[in-house]
Amino acid sequence: MLDDAGLQPLREAARLSPDNLPLRQLLANQLLAKGYLAEAEAEFRAALVLAPKDVNITMGLAEAFVRQSAHGAALAALEPFLVTPGYPPPMGVIAARALLAEGDVAAAAYRYHEAVSRDPSVADAALATRLAAPPVTPSAPAHPAAYTTPAPSPSPYATPAPPYTTPAPSASPYATPAPSASSASPYTPSAPPAPAYGTGAQRPAPPDRANAEVERSGTTFADVAGMEAVKEALRVKLLLPVQQPELFAAFGKRAGGGVLLYGPPGGGKTHLARAAAGELGASFVNVGLADILDMYIGSSERNLRSTFEMARRNRPCVLFFDEVDALAARRSDMRQAHNRQLVNQFLAELDGVDQNANEGVLVLAATNAPWYIDVAFRRPGRFDQLVFVPPPDASARAAILRILCRDKPLAEMDFDAVARVTEHFVGADLKGVVDRAVEAKLHQSISAGRAIPLETPDLLAAAQAARPTSVREWFGTARNYVMHANDSGAWDELMPWIKGGKGKW
């Protein structure tokens, strides 16, 4: 395997010869092996454009998806091959890992054992152990298609009989085929036949209550460094209509509609949303996936409804949905009706039963993957404004560091110097740098028996030891998605970054 330095010439060569398929494949495989997953994904996609039905490239792409927890995308990529008997056994193992992550243990076990029976060298002891273990309730998934319902676990709500709501066998290539007498697979599922991929279970309806909590936000825009354009967009869209309703009425504009913040992870989207609530003196409800997604059919929709109702009871309220791509994914990408129902429920809640239903409820959402979101969410009154939250430039990094250090004992600091050595760091990375430096200083202070103030070299040393999160990879993926899909102008804000007008990413 090449080292990181060895990758660079390969990247360069692929850039200069974009149509050289073996080169692109080599680069993609090396990136995958080195763990540059988003970049590997982009390279495999580019290679697939050159060789659309190549089985090895598809497997590489699926592997990159699985390792990024995009299990639904992995299965969608493998689907055309899995329907044909005799597909490569390693593909069966990749499919098994994705299926297991999505909770379809039976189909995963079938794929795995079928693959191993054809080629024992693909056996993976850890995976086999997990397939044999009793199913557990998964935690919140990282990808829209990944919240499919697993086999029922011993929940107090579980009904004793097999509670699948879709008993008819599915045509999905992931479904476990009925075991045949001649099957060589050592895995013979006992009755009942395994549920179709992602089949859900039912339970008696629990009482309606929201899982998320109402906060009072202590932060305001003064706590958000830089990002002036983003703050201005939020001011006009969310704050002014509430603060100066007469002005808006005079121009025939109503308050309403939400804002979708998108950008690389750790870029400060949640921080901004919380600050917007503080700025307005509104309550803040931070809704995570785990607050909504539930393995039982109908429960996720109920959780969503209760969450909106809680926000309406606490107006004025900023209702913030993090990782919203999992709740608002394109319905065309979904293979299961009940996932589509959740999207429909979300749209209905955003629209409200009447014009005034969401008065005083300001809906904000954040995503690292805006391209997964169903376009229906972008209609007026819904998330009708897309706001790009860019990574900070040097002066914004210095400002973020200043804010992060402001309540610490400080010597005279040169934040600009630290900003210069933290190129490609986002807010979350800078917070990591400050936390690390403070911790080291605390140890020194304890030994000395007095508070020793933080100095510039402390931050420089912590920055040197840190690596930025995957902002560059994020731009690689973004480039891949939006370059050829900006007809509506939805990605205009992002384009200068993708095209190099904002430095090299």
Residues forming the site for ligand ADP (CB under 6 A): 224-227, 265-271, 366, 400, 403, 427-428, 431
> At how many degrees (to 10) do helices 299-313 and 337-351 cross?
10
Give 301 or 325: the residue with its C-beta nearer to ligand ADP: 325
Question: Which two tokens mark 116?
Answer: 């191993």
Q: Which residues face 366 on adjacent strands?
A: 261
Give 357 or 428: the residue with its C-beta nearer to ligand ADP: 428
Question: Which two tokens mark 248?
Answer: 């808006």
Question: Which two tokens mark 313?
Answer: 């009871």
Is 258 within 8 Å of 364 (Cβ atoms)?
A: yes
Give 224 or 373: the residue with its C-beta nearer to ligand ADP: 224
Taking CA atoms, 128 is separated from 41, 65, 125, 131, in Å, by 26, 21, 5, 5
The candidate with the shortest Cα–Cα distance to 267, out of 224, 320, 229, is 224
Give 255 or 403: the residue with its C-beta nearer to ligand ADP: 403
Give 223 or 359: the residue with its C-beta nearer to ligand ADP: 223
- Using Cβ positions, the residue closest to ligand ADP within the complex turns out to be 427
Beta carbons within 8 Å of 478's beta carbon, 6+ residues apart: 371, 494, 497, 498
> What does the alpha-carbon distance between residue 271 and residue 267 come to, in Å, rounded to a whole number?
9
| Residue 157 C-beta: closest distance to ligand ADP, Å | 32
Q: What is the DSSP string of 340-357?
A: HHHHHHHHHHHH-SSTTT
| Residue 274 C-beta: closest distance to ligand ADP, Å | 8
> What does the alpha-carbon distance between residue 477 and residue 480 come to, in Å, rounded to a whole number?
5
The candidate with the shortest Cα–Cα distance to 439, out of 452, 420, 422, 425, is 452
Give 62 or 287: the residue with its C-beta nearer to ligand ADP: 287
| Residue 428 C-beta: closest distance to ligand ADP, Å | 4
| Residue 182 C-beta: closest distance to ligand ADP, Å | 52
- Give the position of tokens 């045949």: 180
| Residue 480 C-beta: closest distance to ligand ADP, Å | 20
Q: How far does the chain reach from its first CA to its final CA, in angstroms?
A: 25
Give 427 or 476: the residue with its C-beta nearer to ligand ADP: 427
| Residue 241 C-beta: closest distance to ligand ADP, Å | 24
| Residue 435 C-beta: closest distance to ligand ADP, Å | 10
Give 75 or 401: the residue with its C-beta nearer to ligand ADP: 401
Taking CA atoms, 96 is separated from 86, 102, 123, 183, in Å, by 16, 10, 12, 18
Give 263 or 476: the residue with its C-beta nearer to ligand ADP: 263
| Residue 33 C-beta: closest distance to ligand ADP, Å | 27
Q: Are strands 317-321 and 283-287 parallel, antiparallel or unpaired?
A: parallel
SS3 387: strand
Cα radius of gyration rounded to whole Å, the chain: 25
| Residue 7 C-beta: closest distance to ligand ADP, Å | 27
